[in-house]
Amino acid sequence: MPGHGRGGDDVDEGRAGTAAGVVRRTGCAVVIGRRGLIRGLVVVALFGWCIAAARAAEGVGGLRGSVVDADDSAPLANARVSVLEAAVSVTTSAEGIYSFDAVPPGTYTVSVAKDGYVRKIIADVVVQPGQFTEVRVELAAEVYEMEEFVVRGFDLGGGTEMGLLEIRQESTALSDAISAELMRRAGASTAAGALRLVVGTSVQEGKYVVIRGLADRYTTTLLNEVRLPTSDADKRAVQLDQFPAAQIQNITVYKSFTPDQQGDSTGGTVDILTKSVPDKGFLSVSGGVEYNTQTTGNDKFLSYRGGGTPTFGLDHGKRDLPFRSSEVPGYLGATVNPTLAATRLPNAQLLDAQTRAFEPVLGVSTKEVGPGYNFGLAGGEKFNLGGAGDFGFIAGYSYKQDYKFYDNGQRNIVTYSSGGADPSVENSYNDARGTDEVQWSATLGLGYQLDDQHSFDLIFIHNQTATDEARFLEDRTEPTEYTQSQSLRYRERTLQSIQLGGDHRFDDLGGVKLDWVGSYNTTRQYEPDQRFFKNAFDPINQVSAPQGELLNHILRVWRDVEEESKQGALNLTAPFRQWTDTEGYVKVGPFYDEVVRKFRQDSFSYAFPSQAGPLDDKKIENLGYTTYGGPGLWTDVFLEPHRIGFPTNNPPAINQ
């Protein structure tokens, strides 16, 4: 089965679906008549008992309660209540009531937010099977009344909720923000997880943020007010799961447009601010071990031979492309002409060598994995240089190994008709997926402050993520012919940023401010040797065979996307006081942005070559390789040495 190559083609990986466990549903029906109050109360009690019995039978629980004002206990409508671990949210009714049904038993973190009130996090909320857990939440208004006083040389900073409140009050745009303190309390491990706490935002696929329901192409992501490039092949959005919480001081989400933002920020802007040089020295060490009932010690964890993530998320060439798709000769065809066959022999031998150059594994297997773990190290110090100002630094490193797995998922492909009829399920797949992920980050920040009017900062950031995924889907819609799909996908994501900036204030010029920044940023998404295998399976005769056009069902893809950006900006801000005695400012300055994207994709497919000539024993043997009736999956033997390569007969090359 020689390989045929094609360069620059996109890979169709199927339509999106959902994965969920199988849930047994039970229920009760109660009819209330009009024969008296006592009977009505009895029926209501019976109805409540039926609901509890049904929930107990399902093995799930529920969460409900109310949200009220902390000052006068008035109910708060349209407050957003989120169960973070379950990734579900509801808004309260006009009476301040909320309810979550069918919540699996466990311990959860609940977030409650409403405009004009301080966000509240309730940790360790326990849901029991067959029961509703009641949680009443009191929100305090974002109003602080105090006597007038003056604070000099003191900055609340953006790492606490109080500091962020001050920043939001001074902002001219509609914004929301999350501090490092809140991320720590909510258990958010990445920027993507933290943004689930912001009202008006949602996170898609665990990494893409959507603001006010607008598509990702309308959202801009900044790092310390510098725009980030993206290496995603299909989206303009930055993948926010690359930023660990240990690296972040705060995240600000701007939900309205201001003149100093870039033109494609109409949907909103996410600005990630990394931790800055501390006022005093510190050193912190952290670590943890994660036990997951679905993965830890599970010998059915889905992977493949040779799969798994390297320790530091760098493959070091083990999956690199052995040759370019442009080097693959065209399909040879079949002939009974010995002279013509002899001229094709060199190309046949080249195809054979190229086919054998690939890693022979195409399908999934299982293995046992251990617990996930993480650790971090951070430190910083500030030094007084006497009359020469202050110098400080902050450095940090974090590492995380994580496993995710499910084997009872359901992926449905639904079709809709133009006539307004109800949607119908076209295909329904049993879904199993195992994911192995390594993520580490390194940060170094240097700061120099000449005096209270002039400061300089240099920041270096490197984030590395490697993900290895094995997936198996089986469609049993047709009882006599199942469709089996397998995919093996390894991905490396790298982000680097170097930023140099300065802030200057000139009091003798009426408080004019000058700030500038220059940065070089690179991001890369490298997906070497993605493997896709799709076949038909006869459950009665236990035989696997190609389904449809084989050329489109067995693929290997190498894709490399890299984007780099160079940015520079200088802003001059001049304050003024207008005729109404209201303070304002004028902000002007040049801006430079250069973005270069590189994209390369090589795709390869396998084909069974046809053979001319008489039906002899060798030809029968070769034709037998086009199906598989042995134990296990077809992928287990598809590329075994005796099954691959250009088929030969006796005499040699007579009918190739």
pTM: predicted TM-score of the whole model, two decimal places: 0.71
pLDDT score, position 564? 94
- Asked if residue 376 is part of any domain, the answer here is yes
Q: DSSP of 282-311, one letter per residue?
A: EEEEEEEEE--TTTBT-TTEEE-TT-S--T
- Give domain status of residue 582, yes or no: yes
Q: Choose the final residue of a domain: 231, 255, 274.
A: 274
Answer whether 594's CB lies under 8 Å from 559's CB. Answer: no
Record the tokens describing residue 629, joined without a space. Answer: 């009736």
DSSP state, residue 550: G
Q: Is residue 202 part of a domain?
A: yes
Token pair for 115: 């405009």
The answer for residues whose C-beta is within 8 angstroms of residue 378's C-beta and 6 or more apart is 246, 275, 282, 283, 284, 394, 395, 396, 397
User: What's the pLDDT score for residue 154?
Assistant: 36
54 with 171, same domain?
A: no
Output the domain CATH number for residue 230. 2.170.130.10
Task: Answer yes or no: are the C-beta atoms of 566 and 594 closer than 8 Å.
Answer: yes
> What's the structural domain count of the chain?
3
CA distance 5 to 9: 10
**Residue 496: C-alpha distances to residues 243, 270, 443 (Å):** 11, 18, 10
Domain range for 461 is: 366-476+490-530+560-599
Please identify, among 235, 254, 274, the residue that sits at the C-terminal boundary of a domain: 274
Q: What token pair was written down for 605?
A: 């497919």
CB-based burial, 167-191: b 16+ in 10 Å, e otherwise: beeeeebbbbbbbbbbbebbebbbb
Domain stop point among 274, 301, 318:
274
User: Do 384 and 525 reside in the same domain of the chain?
Assistant: yes
Q: Can you tell me the distance from the alpha carbon of 177 to that of 490, in angstroms, rounded to the nearest whole number?
A: 34
What's the confidence (pLDDT) of residue 27? 33
Q: Strand runs (DSSP E) across 242-290, as ranges?
A: 248-254, 268-274, 282-290
Q: What is the pLDDT of residue 548?
A: 65
Task: List per-block mean pLDDT (blocks of 10 residues) for the chain, which spans 656 residues.
Answer: 40 32 31 37 42 51 90 87 86 90 87 87 87 90 54 44 51 71 80 81 80 75 85 77 83 78 74 86 90 92 94 90 86 62 77 87 94 92 90 92 92 77 81 94 92 93 94 91 94 94 92 94 94 93 80 86 94 89 88 92 82 69 80 88 55 36
Residues with Cβ within 8 Å of residue 12, at least 6 apart in sequence:
552
CA separation for the pair 142, 169 (Å, rounded):
10
Instruction: Tell me whether residue 642 is in a domain.
Output: no
Position of tokens 């084997």?
A: 407
592 and 449 within one domain:
yes
Backbone torsion region of residue 73, taken as left when φ is above 0, otherwise alpha when ψ lies between -120 and 50, otherwise beta: left
Q: What is the pLDDT of residue 248?
A: 86
Which of 61, 149, 143 lies closest to 102 in space, CA to CA?
61
Three-state SS string over 190-246 comes to EHHHHHHHCCCEEEECCCEEEECCCCHHHEEEEECCEECCCCCCCCCCCCHHHCEHH
Taking the C-alpha atoms of residue 274 and residue 591, their distance in angstroms, rounded to an integer, is: 22
Q: Using the 8-state DSSP alphabet, how is residue 480 labeled?
A: T
Q: How far is CA 37 from CA 29, 33, 41, 162, 240, in A?
A: 19, 10, 6, 53, 57
Inter-residue contact 465 to 313 (CB < 8 Å) = yes
Instruction: Give Cα 571 distance to the centre of its chain.
Output: 34
DSSP state of 115: T
Domain contains 40: yes
Residues in the chain: 656
Please check whether residue 134 lies inside any domain of the structure. Answer: no
Q: Flag whether 78 is in a domain.
A: no
Residue 639 lies in a domain: no
Instruction: Give the three-state DSSP class for 326.
Output: helix
